Amino acid sequence: MDNPTYLLEVKNLCRYFTSGRGKKKLTVKAVDDVSFGVKPAETFGLVGESGCGKTTLGRTVIRLYDPTSGQVIFNGREISGKMTNDLRRYLTENIAMIFQDPIESLNPRMTVEEIIGEGLKVRGVKDKDEIRRRVVEMLEKVGLNEEHATRYPHEFSGGQRQRIGIARALIVQPKMIIADEPVSALDVSIQAQVINLLNDLKSEFGLTILFIAHNLSVVKYFSDRIGVMYYGRLVEVARGDDLYAKPLHPYTRALLSAIPEPNPLVAKAKRRVDYDPERDHDYTHEKPEMVEVEPDHFVYCSPSEFARYREICKRVGKVGA
């Protein structure tokens, strides 16, 4: 049964990479039994350190990778099954991806107009004037203009290239955007501009966004809910304010303690905590699973951890009430 609360629902998704043969065979569980949902028009932030599987998760959802097992449902339709022309079309019409590296992800031999207009062609728009008009309209929405249409990607700054990437993603009017670290390759001063742009476009188009980031400081003000990923697994999912007020999983606590604090007095008093799965959990007798500790707050934990987390939630109470 799919859950009507969610636009995108990911159920027990796994994506493994295997290399080598025989005894040298090595399997990396890049995404391992991940389940979560993204509600319509919300921004879901996905955070975790380098190599934890964020990009693989995003790419598996949009079918740049095939899942090893599990299910992905979008707007009631399964998108993780056998690839067909119809499913390919459904995916391109509904979900678009913005990539981390705005240089690598734009074809250097295509003009900006060709890059942005490509999605329209795929959707069967043939009229050159219409393509031009819609490309220019989109360029203006992302803070560029008509003059930029005939230029090539290398003629732009990093921030401008990312704007081109955003225009390319939005031209087909998808319901959902998967933004894979869209600002991490940009200067700090430009990061805020691009995030604000995404935020504006989000309200204008009623977009649903899966926003992937390395650390919590980027998603903090931007996400409605946040999922924390550790070594292929989601360990905690909660509304942003709940996650900050009552982080339950020890890895979430470690991530929060690593956010840079601008006030030196507060920074001095802040204690950095580290996460050591061997030390922090005892799963010899109890198996962990993803459970809802309080409404909309999920943690990957064992039954005894669950009891402890419930106590913490009771003690802290409702945030923002």
Ligand X SMILES: Nc1ncnc2c1ncn2[C@@H]1O[C@H](COP(=O)(O)OP(=O)(O)OP(=O)(O)O)[C@@H](O)[C@H]1O
3-state SS class at 161: helix
Using CB under 5 A, count the residues that bind Mg ion.
Answer: 1
User: Which stretch in 12-20, 47-55, 108-116, 246-254 sits in contact with Mg ion by CB under 5 A?
Assistant: 47-55
Shortest Cβ 163–ligand X spacing (Å): 21
Using CB under 6 A, count the residues that bind ligand X.
Answer: 12
3-state SS class at 170: helix
Packing angle, helices 128-141 and 112-122, rounded to 10: 120
Residues facing 179 on adjacent strands:
98, 211
Shortest Cβ 165–ligand X spacing (Å): 16
CA separation for the pair 58, 181 (Å, rounded): 11
User: Which stretch in 5-13, 44-52, 196-204, 250-258 sits in contact with ligand X by CB under 6 A?
Assistant: 44-52
Q: Under rule CB under 6 A, which residues in 199-228 are in contact with ligand X?
A: 214
CA nearest 180: which of 121, 229, 114?
A: 229
- Please say which residue, 51 or 81, places its beta carbon nearer to Mg ion: 51
Instruction: Order the strands of the 208-213 sheet from edge to edge.
Output: 95-98, 176-180, 208-213, 43-47, 225-230, 233-239, 297-301, 289-294
Shortest Cβ 182–Mg ion spacing (Å): 11
The b/e string for 65-98 (b: 16+ C-beta within 10 A; e otherwise) is bebbebbbbbbeeebbeeeeeebeeebbebbbbb
Q: Does 28 bind ligand X (CB under 6 A)?
A: yes
Which one of 54, 141, 161, 168 is in contact with ligand X (CB under 6 A)? Answer: 54
- Please say which residue, 55 or 75, places its beta carbon nearer to Mg ion: 55
3-state SS class at 28: strand
Binding partner of residue 30 among ligand X, Mg ion, none, CB cut-off 5 to 8 Å per kind? ligand X
Binding partner of residue 283 among ligand X, Mg ion, none, CB cut-off 5 to 8 Å per kind? none
Shortest Cβ 185–ligand X spacing (Å): 11
CA nearest 142: which of 184, 197, 100?
A: 197
CA separation for the pair 280, 158 (Å, rounded): 41
- Please say which residue, 30 or 301, places its beta carbon nearer to ligand X: 30
Q: Does 55 bind Mg ion (CB under 5 A)?
A: yes
Q: Does 104 bind ligand X (CB under 6 A)?
A: no
Structure-token pair, residue 202: 């989000």
Q: Does 162 bind Mg ion (CB under 5 A)?
A: no
Shortest Cβ 10–ligand X spacing (Å): 14
Q: What share of the chain is helix, strand, coil (3-state, %, to 5)?
A: 40, 25, 35
Shortest Cβ 13–ligand X spacing (Å): 13
Q: Site residues (CB under 6 A) for ligand X? A: 17, 28, 30, 48, 50-56, 214
- Which spans of this chain sit near Mg ion (rule: CB under 5 A)? 55
